[in-house]
Chains A and B, each alone.
Chain A
Amino acid sequence: MAVCIAVIGKENSPKYISCLKEDEELQLHYKVHTSLDIVEEKLSAPTKAAGDLRELYLGLLYSTEELKVFGYVTNTKIKFIIVVDSANSMLRDNEVRTMFRKLHTAYTDVVCNPFYIPGDKIESKKFDAVVKAIFQGN
């Protein structure tokens, strides 16, 4: 399913990036980075479709032949990016939503850890486990 999962902070600094395959890392980091522009664009767009815009889930940011990039922004301006393999055409919107929701729940748990300083990189075994579960598709 997912090939790359990233958490980006308020000021667009990476808090957490994890890729499934090591040899594709550079390309995936680049994809995540470019997709941030589209996130900004979606957030600042004049409220044409106000109903849509207010949802945390931003939907498909862009897709290429082999990859699809999805975005999600919390109320506190933390961005989650998930890159999915396009070959997996059976993927439904709802499943992507579920992945994001799991990621968001895990993130709130990290923030509620009193030893975690907001803005730092995420170094948590629990969070790693959640990301791993998403990679494996459940």
Chain B
Amino acid sequence: MVADEVLLELIHSELVSYAYTKAEEKEKDKKEVDFSSLEYAGFLSGYRMIERLTKDWPRFKDELETLKFICTDFWSAVYKKQIDNLRTNHQGVYVLQDNAFRFLNKISSGTQYLEHAPRYVAFTCGLLRGALANLGIVSLVTAEIQPMPAVKFHIEVKRS
């Protein structure tokens, strides 16, 4: 692996552990940990990144084409691979499946660390939301962790 690809993984895992300890300090008694700051960091990154990535592209025809761009070019730019599967019900719900999600790839793929996995997808949910928001699609992004390195991102487009 090229060195500069490792940097993203390292800074991301540091970001996660930092946000996690911060959130834990704030609400010791609660079981659920708040990932919203992580998600927001992702949102801002996605928002800024998309401005640059779409610079040399023709205008997108519709929503589906925009999502296709996210699955191929945007994902390649960030995760060096494409989304493995894109599904939609044509009513504003999209499911993006990544069979070997990069931030979970280095973790044992059994069920042992499953409870820690959600914190590694929060940033990416924000990243997707931010990218779509700047392209004019307001959405709600959630993640579902399938057997370990596989993640499904559910995008629910908000219609006004």
Residues of A whose CB lies within 8 Å of any CB of B are 10, 47, 53-56, 73-77, 104-105, 107-108, 111-112, 114, 118
Binary flags per residue of B29-49, CB closer than 8 Å to A gives 1, else 0:
000000000000000100110
For B44, the chain A residues whose CB sits under 8 A away are 114
The yes or no answer to B61 lying at the interface (CB within 8 A) is yes
Choice from A54, A55, A77, A108 contacting B55 with Cβ under 8 Å: A108
Contacts of A54 in B (CB 8 A): 58-59, 61
Instruction: Give Cα A118–Cα B50 distance, bound, in whole angstroms.
Output: 12
Query: A interface, by DSSP: helix, strand, loop or mixed?
Result: loop
In the bound complex, residues from chain A placing their C-beta under 8 Å from that of B54 are 74-76
Contacts of A55 in B (CB 8 A): 58-59
Chain B residues engaging chain A, CB cutoff 8 angstroms: 44, 47-48, 50-52, 54-55, 57-61, 134-136
Please name the residue on chain A nearest to B44 by beta carbon. A114
Give the dominant DSSP class at B's interface. Answer: loop
A54-B61, A118-B134 known; 6 new pairs, CB 8 Å cut-off, are A47-B61, A54-B59, A74-B51, A75-B50, A76-B50, A104-B55
Structural contact, B51 and A111, CB atoms closer than 8 A? yes
Q: Is the CB of B134 within 8 A of A76?
A: yes
Contact A112–B52 (Cβ < 8 Å):
yes
Q: Which of B48, B55, B57, B134 contacts A105 (CB 8 A)?
A: B55
Q: Is the CB of B135 within 8 A of A118?
A: no
Query: In the assembled complex, which residues on chain B have CB atoms less than 8 Å from the CB atom of A75?
Result: 50, 54, 57, 59-60, 135
Among B48, B59, B136, point to the contact of A111 (Cβ < 8 A): B48
